[in-house]
Structure 1
Amino acid sequence: MSKALERRAKFREELIQAAERSIAAGGLAGLKTRELAREIGVANGAVYNLVEDVDELILRVGSQTLARLDASLTAAESNGPASPRETLVRIAVAYCDFAAENLELWRALFEHRMAPGKPVPEWAISEQMDLFRHIYHPLAELFPERTPAELGVTARSLFSAVHGMVLLGLEQKLIAVPVDALRKEIAVIVGAMVDGLTPPVVPGKRSVTRDP
């Protein structure tokens, strides 16, 4: 790599880290490229030699947030033996904890909107969708008779329910719920949802599974 490319890569990384700190401190509304440029020691216009636009900058910060969320969910899954039901409860609670500990960065994942007419890049969509494996795999163990498409719908529905609870529970308004209480409620409700989706076992009757 040439010196010029090395220098550009260094400033690009510093820009993304500075943007992450800015969002963590004040949310998306506090993100100002002029301030970021000053922080990393480049001209304001040079920012757009490092990233295509503000959308890409926010998505790159989001990529780092998703990577940390992925690590948190993986750690929750790996915390000792667990049934598929317990795994789903663990990752739901871990999701709540991550959101509470990284509130503005977590909010930015969902608050950011691309410029009108500009699609979300495929690499960003792929990173987002990859996280659903944490929900999909235990669901596949619980419901081996369901098709991949059916499991995908169930995974997204379960995520939507947990995300909605976390979003409302962490709102800094009258509806806010203490994090400890929110964690307990999420554990109870996710467990109840999984139990409700699981058909009762009929003595002497074997379940029918489909070939993949």
Structure 2
Amino acid sequence: MRSDLILAAERMIANRGLAGLKTRDLAREIGCANGAVYNLVADVDELILRVGSRTLRRLDEALSAAESAGEPSPQQTLVRIAIAYCDFAAENLQLWRALFEHRMATDKTVPDWSVDDQMRLFRHIYQPLAALFPQRSPDELGITARSLFSAVHGMVALGLEQKLVAVPLPALRKEIAGLVRAMIDGLIAQPS
């Protein structure tokens, strides 16, 4: 039943967005009482994080496929994974948004398993950066990886907005590729 609950929550978020997640509707869909949902997960936060873990696994698969899909140069790998990230977000918009929209109460901490799921994805950026900049420390590479992710994520988040700042997907892909190339070229040109 727990798996059924997580899958039902995933479908609900995919169709309605995070704000459309209702435990009463989930309980009815999986055939249990509303209170029984909390026998399957501790609370709605855990349920959302479990759905997020499934989303992150699928994103990991998409990024892994992009890594091995072409020229093995670190620069091209970074461009491919940035575009794969954009495409994944566009194809899984509500689930992707839920990863960033969900906020835990200030007195609650994100469980280690969920943090691990999130941080594991940075290897896709970190490894090509380590090949490009072998003289940098792991901490420096980590900061650069997070900065590159933030730049690409910002473009994707704003580009996929369904408001005034929306950018057609082909143009967004092109702009993201240009940003990643420019950032890497700039980092390479910097003196050590």
Q: Secondary structure at the match of 2:163?
A: coil
Q: 1:65 matched to which residue of 2?
A: 55
Is residue 2:62 matched to residue 1:90? no
Q: Secondary structure at the match of 2:189?
A: coil
Query: In the TM superposition, what whole-angstrom CA distance separates every residue of 1:108-127 from its partner, at most 9, and x where no partner exists?
Result: 00000012300000110011
Unpaired segments ≥5 residues, structure 1:
1-10, 202-207
State the superposition RMSD in angstroms: 1.2
TM-score, L = length of structure 1: 0.89
Measure, in 2, the Cα distance between the counterparts of 1:130 and 1:160.
16
1:81 to partner: Cα distance: 3.1
Q: 1:138 matched to which residue of 2?
A: 128
Q: 2:68 matched to which residue of 1?
A: 78
Measure, in 1, the Cα distance between the counterparts of 2:74 and 2:58.
22
Q: 1:204 matched to which residue of 2?
A: none
1:189 to partner: Cα distance: 1.0
Measure, in 2, the Cα distance between the counterparts of 1:143 and 1:130.
20
Measure, in 1, the Cα distance between the counterparts of 2:162 and 2:53.
25
Q: 1:25 matched to which residue of 2?
A: 15
Letter in 2 for 1:65: T
Is residue 2:33 matched to residue 1:43? yes
Measure, in 2, the Cα distance between the counterparts of 1:80 and 1:159.
21
1:82 to partner: Cα distance: 2.1
Which of 118, 121, 145 aligns to 2:111? It is: 121
Q: Secondary structure at the match of 2:141?
A: helix
TM-score, L = length of structure 2: 0.98
Is residue 2:153 matched to residue 1:169? no
Which protein has the larger Cα radius of gyration, Structure 1 or Structure 2?
1
Query: In the TM superposition, what whole-angstrom CA distance separates every residue of 1:11-70 from its partner, at most 9, and x where no partner exists?
Result: 000000000000000111100000000000000000000000000000000000000000
Q: Secondary structure at the match of 2:183?
A: helix
4+ long deviations beyond 2 Å: none
Measure, in 1, the Cα distance between the counterparts of 2:50 and 2:190.
45
- Percent identical among aligned pairs is 74
1:181 to partner: Cα distance: 0.6
Q: 2:137 matched to which residue of 1?
A: 147
Letter in 1 for 2:173: R
1:200 to partner: Cα distance: 7.2
Kindly tell me the number of residue pairs found equivalent between the two proteins. 192
